[in-house]
Amino acid sequence: MRKVAEALSPATGDHRNIIVSGLTAAGKTTHALLIAKWLGYDYVSASELMLRLLKVQPDMDNTLWATSLSTIERLRNQYPADEEVNRLLIAEAQRRTSTVFDSWSLPWLIDDIPCVRLYIESDLRSRSLKVRVSQQPHAVRRSLEECTALAEEKDRTTAVRLQPLLGVDIRTDRSVFDAVLDNSAYIDEPTIEAARAGISAFHASIQRTLCRLRADPAAAPDNTHRTGPLPQ
């Protein structure tokens, strides 16, 4: 949990928490941090809470999940960290305002707490490209096929762990979100330059959406958003 400074907050008077969710490598952490910086909000990472409970040292470049997935999954099998992380997230959401939460599970856990739930949709190909970019220059470079397999495996294992806790398949259910924004088209090659350009363009789309939702909490999604469960 950390404060992200140097921000310009739109003067709406809306201090609701914002929850950013999405599948592996969709851009949750990147855009949650950018939103927090933009609004001057605090930032809470479910992954950081998980690693703290598992006594795993987090990395500064957010590549640990790509380099040590099997180790983390083994530790999660030994200790029921997911349940504890969910309890901590609920407690933080109840006591906080003006905070961006970066979490797979929190959107389904807090029906009675006012917040903005944002889902970042991203197809498997674009997420595979981002997995490969995330390894530069910090980790061993996998092939694009290996990056695809890694993303699918992390999606699967996380969905299996959270299904009994949430009662939904997080890979398909979008019913609780206020906005679903798709960034699949914002990266076309596995390069840092392409990723940065896509991040900048997509962040502008997120800003417009959040300004609208925060100005009018009852605003309906426009045609760039998808709501409700995706087809199985």
Span 153-198, pLDDT tens digits: 999 999 999 999 999 999 999 999 999 999 999 999 999 999 999 9
Count CB neighbours of 72 within 10 A.
Answer: 20
Structure confidence by residue, pLDDT tens digits, 45-104: 999 999 999 998 876 665 666 667 788 888 998 998 999 999 999 999 999 999 999 999
User: Is the predicted pLDDT of residue 199 greater than 70, yes or no?
Assistant: yes
Residue 151 lies in a domain: yes
Cα–Cα distance, 40 to 99 (Å, whole number): 9
Q: What local confidence, expressed as pLDDT, does residue 71 receive? A: 86
* pLDDT given at position 103: 98
Domain count, the chain: 1
Which range of residues forms the domain containing residue 87? 2-215
Of residues 23, 65, 2, 8, the one with CA closest to residue 174: 23
Is the pLDDT at 44 greater than 90? The verdict is yes
Lowest mean pLDDT among 39-43, 112-116, 219-223: 219-223
Number of H helices, E strands in the chain: 8, 6
Indicate if the alpha-carbon torsion angle 225, 174, 133, 8 is positive or negative.
Answer: positive
Residue 21, exposed/middle/buried by CB under 10 A (0-12, 13-18, 19+)? Answer: buried
* In a domain? residue 228: no
Within a domain: residue 154?
A: yes
The reply to whether 24 falls in a domain is yes
Q: Which residue has the higher pLDDT, 12 or 53?
A: 53
Closest to 4 measured CA to CA, from 32, 25, 30, 33: 33
CATH number at residue 135: 3.40.50.300
- Residue 220 resides in a domain: no
For the chain, the average pLDDT equals 86
- Mean pLDDT over 9-31 rounds to 87
